Amino acid sequence: NSATKAPPTPSPLRFSKYFQSNMRILVTGGAGFIGSHLVDRLMENEKNEVIVADNYFTGSKDNLKKWIGHPRFELIRHDVTEPLLVEVDQIYHLACPASPIFYKYNPVKTIKTNVIGTLNMLGLAKRVGARILLTSTSEVYGDPLVHPQDESYWGNVNPIGVRSCYDEGKRVAETLMFDYHRQHGIEIRIARIFNTYGPRMNIDDGRVVSNFIAQAIRNEPLTVQASGTQTRSFCYVSDMVDGLIRLMEGENTGPINIGNPGEFTMMELAETAKELINPQVEIIGVENTPDDPRQRKPDITKAKELLGWEPKIKLRDGLPLMEEDFRRRLEVPREN
Ligand code: NAD
Ligand code: UDP
Ligand code: UDP
């Protein structure tokens, strides 16, 4: 009788579908700074398979070397401005240079990456029914007239300036995300990332934290641009990755600010780097770049309430971790 009959043995396919929640995850820009830390975290979960698509413009295979050859990992040389055919459940779409030096180097390419690249990843998400997360930026607030910035602020952005390829590009990318969501029912997530720092940043990429740390280690003057009274808020990369994963896994589309609300003037940052890394180093004033935002600090009420997220690592604790990584790569050990 049926009560004593053994249940049918599930086929391997059925078994994997019903008893494991395996996820195949695409990370565009996964060879970059934030992307490679995100990959490390995703790979820690044995149920995840990770595919990275990157054109190595600012990223490098070196950042992923511990995963190359791993059975759950795949690395594809691919430019997101070209269509991509893969079968995935989730897409973390990070591909885009983030440092002003690199995004201004070929501004037309930057806007293509933001617009065509995001369009392609949305087309992919639509075809395979994947959830997609965009790493947008605090730059969508431009030179903000509201302080701190919350997600309802529409921003103060110059549409024709030298930073526009990046900040207007990200604004269009956000628009595309919401239009695919409304028009095609795609599941979207938008993170507005504020300045992030940590190990693996390009040593010479020109961003302020990497500049000051490299300069202090090399005993070169710390270059404070303009008066040094402009402010930024710096988030350590492990906190950032934690916020991105919570946003992807949660129920909210965003946009949600992810950043550390601790606000510093660039002069304070230089003084902190000097004190922690090299008390002998000089601090000098140099000319600033055009359209530099005067102030920036996230309001993270939404991230706290909707994601249960807030950053844990203070600037004074994060800088030494980055110093250690830079010293190793620059081959300048600490003297004491
Ligand atoms: P990064 O430059 O280290 O990484 C970007 C990665 O994207 C690199 O590996 C690069 O090679 C790749 N890439 C660039 N153009 C590509 C293209 N056309 N096709 C495929 N790959 C391409 O920068 P990051 O700091 O890791 O930033 C990652 C994301 O986070 C970016 O979308 C950036 O706009 C966003 N973000 C970063 C910060 C920050 O402070 N780091 C702040 C706001 C937003
Ligand atoms: N696309 C892609 N991978 C896919 C599906 C689509 O790269 O698996 C690209 C496609 O080449 C197109 C873009 O995504 O340029 C938008 O696709 P969608 O289907 O939304 O628009 P359409 O192809 O109808 O213009
Ligand atoms: N900055 C600086 N010295 C440097 C590099 C940058 O004083 O060597 C300043 C820059 O003028 C800006 C802030 O640091 O006000 C942050 O610049 P960054 O390029 O790191 O990022 P942004 O937030 O502008 O994208």
pLDDT in tens, 21-64: 799 999 999 999 999 999 999 999 999 999 999 999 999 999 99
Catalytic residue among 92, 103, 141, 166: 166
Residue nearest to atom 19 of ligand 1 (CA): 79
Q: CA 219 to CA 184: how far, in whole Å?
A: 55
**Six-digit token pair at 305?**
């309430």
Nearest ligand to the CA of 102 is: 1
ipTM of this complex: 0.97
Q: Kind and range of the H or E element at 246? A: helix 237-249
The pLDDT tens digits for 290-323 are 888 899 999 999 999 999 999 999 999 999 999 9
CA distance 49 to 25: 6
Nearest ligand to residue 120 Cα: 2
Assess whether the previous peptide bond of 255 is cis (omega < 30° from 0).
Answer: yes
At 256 the pLDDT is 98
The end-to-end CA distance of the chain, in Å, is 79
28 CB within 6 A, ligand 2: no
Cα dist from 297 to 29, 151, 167, 223, whole Å: 25, 12, 17, 22
Q: Is the dihedral of CA 202, 206, 207, 208 positive or negative?
A: positive
3-state secondary structure of 91: strand
Find out whether 155 and 97 touch, Cβ atoms under 8 Å: no
Sign of the torsion formed by the C-alpha atoms of 321, 324, 325 and 330: positive
Residues with CB under 6 A from ligand 1: 28-29, 31-35, 54-59, 79-81, 94-98, 113, 117, 135, 137, 193, 195-196
Q: Is-catalytic flag, 153?
A: no
For residue range 218-276, list pLDDT tens digits in order.
999 999 998 899 999 999 999 999 999 999 999 999 999 999 999 999 999 999 999 99
Atom of ligand 3 nearest to the CA of 212: 8
Query: How far, CA to CA in Å, does 135 sit from each of 73, 148, 170, 240, 283?
Result: 22, 20, 9, 11, 33
